[in-house]
């Protein structure tokens, strides 16, 4: 899990999937554009359930199937400074283009709070959950990306309680989907470096390092970010006889004491390392466990929490994943 390789931005940008322009022609009333759609991903039984779900949800919410569906991995910080990696738990964005400068945005997590807003002109009201998407899409429109508008539906597989931020992966999935919708040529790959810069401009308080992992991560690799450069190093716990897990405490409040308790117990019983996955306090910790100590460590943590009258934490497997991609 040490130094291996470095890659250029050009190589990172070319890692995305090619655009597929097959499928049915779609339409959805005034302001919508008639364009090729994803080949009926909502009803394709072989498709991942998450992508079928967001495709169907877009059609249900806005009356038209998606032209594109993008997934983006959650990401996390490693214990080493300036080092991040992508996790295999994804978010998804399904989108179809418009030509009237309007965005209709919905989310499975907020079914009663869909919203519409213009990409140009005075600021408009929108629900709090949509604030980051609102800022990003208007910033992208000012830069020439997606000015025509879109119908857009987003969803995350993880809740905030896990400690892995869904905000940055959702930003990336939305940015990639919108950039692709209005691309001048089929097969043109969205400019990931430019989109990352626009996301930073739209939400400077976001975690730029996590966005880098979402957009440029590689399976079995971590990114070291220093001096405006990115360098890849090997980070594949399974290849080293270990298991990376996210330990999520449960109960009321932020749970800082519970997280410390879990970390100390895991280390005491054989964990190789334990650290916070993000910048905030959160309720979770990442733990690196030897394969031959998985059961004893998990049992010890469970028993310690039961003895203290606390809910037993959950353990989620984490696989180091590749970057955001188009789902065909």
Q: Helix crossing, 192-202 with 131-142: angle to 10°? A: 120
At 29 the pLDDT is 61
Residues in the chain: 328
* Res 48 pLDDT > 50: yes
Q: What percent of the chain has pLDDT over 90?
A: 73
Q: What percent of the chain has pLDDT over 70?
A: 85
In this predicted model, what pLDDT tens digit does every residue of 205-224 receive, in sequence order? 999 999 999 999 999 999 99
What's the mean pLDDT in 288-300? 97
Give the range among 5-9, 87-91, 211-215, 282-286 with minimum mean pLDDT: 5-9
What's the mean pLDDT in 172-185? 86
At 88 the pLDDT is 95
Rounded Cα–Cα distance for residues 170 and 238 (Å): 27
Phi, psi torsion values for 68, nearest 5 degrees: -150, 150
Local confidence band at 11 (pLDDT 50, 70, 90 cut-offs): very low
Rounded Cα–Cα distance for residues 270 and 299 (Å): 12
Local confidence band at 24 (pLDDT 50, 70, 90 cut-offs): very low
Render 230-272 in DSSP notation, one character per residue: EEEEE--GGGGTEEEEEEE--SSS--HHHHHHHHHHHHHTT-S
What's the mean pLDDT in 188-203? 92
At 43 the pLDDT is 76
Mean pLDDT of the chain: 87
Sign of CA dihedral 76, 201, 204, 162: negative
In this predicted model, what pLDDT tens digit does every residue of 104-141 receive, in sequence order? 999 999 999 999 999 999 999 999 999 999 999 999 99
Local confidence band at 33 (pLDDT 50, 70, 90 cut-offs): low
* Res 241 pLDDT > 80: yes
Render 273-285 in DSSP notation, one character per residue: EEE-SSSS--SEE
Local confidence band at 30 (pLDDT 50, 70, 90 cut-offs): low
- 164: its two tokens: 């892995």
């Amino acid at each position: 899990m040490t130094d291996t390789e470095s890659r250029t931005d050009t190589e990172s940008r070319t890692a995305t999937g090619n655009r597929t322009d097959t499928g049915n022609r779609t339409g959805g009333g005034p302001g919508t554009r008639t364009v090729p759609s994803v080949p009926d991903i909502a009803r394709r039984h072989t498709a991942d359930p998450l992508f079928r779900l967001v495709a169907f949800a877009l059609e249900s919410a806005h009356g038209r199937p998606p032209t594109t569906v993008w997934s983006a991995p959650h990401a996390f910080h490693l214990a080493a400074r300036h080092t991040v990696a992508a996790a295999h738990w994804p978010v998804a964005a399904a989108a179809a283009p418009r030509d009237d400068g309007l965005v209709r945005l919905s989310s499975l997590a907020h079914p009663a709070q869909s919203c519409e807003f213009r990409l140009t002109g005075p600021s408009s009201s929108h629900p709090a959950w949509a604030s980051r998407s609102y800022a990003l899409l208007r910033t992208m429109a000012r830069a020439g990306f997606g000015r025509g508008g879109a119908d857009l539906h987003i969803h995350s597989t993880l809740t905030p309680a896990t400690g892995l931020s869904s905000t940055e992966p959702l930003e990336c999935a939305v940015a990639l989907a919108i950039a692709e919708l209005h691309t001048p040529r089929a097969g043109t790959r969205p400019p990931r470096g430019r989109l990352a810069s626009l996301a930073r401009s739209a939400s400077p308080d976001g975690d730029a390092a996590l966005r880098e992992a979402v957009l440029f991560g590689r399976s079995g690799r971590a990114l070291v970010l220093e001096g405006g450069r990115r360098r890849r190093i090997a980070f594949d716990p399974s290849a080293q006889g270990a298991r990376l897990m996210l330990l999520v405490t449960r109960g009321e409040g932020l749970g800082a004491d519970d997280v410390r308790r879990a970390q100390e117990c895991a280390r005491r019983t054989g964990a190789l390392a334990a650290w916070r996955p993000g910048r905030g306090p959160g309720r979770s910790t990442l733990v690196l466990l030897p394969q031959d100590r998985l059961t004893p460590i998990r049992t010890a943590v469970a028993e310690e929490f039961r003895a203290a009258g606390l809910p037993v934490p959950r353990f989620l497997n984490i696989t180091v994943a590749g970057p955001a991609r188009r789902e065909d």
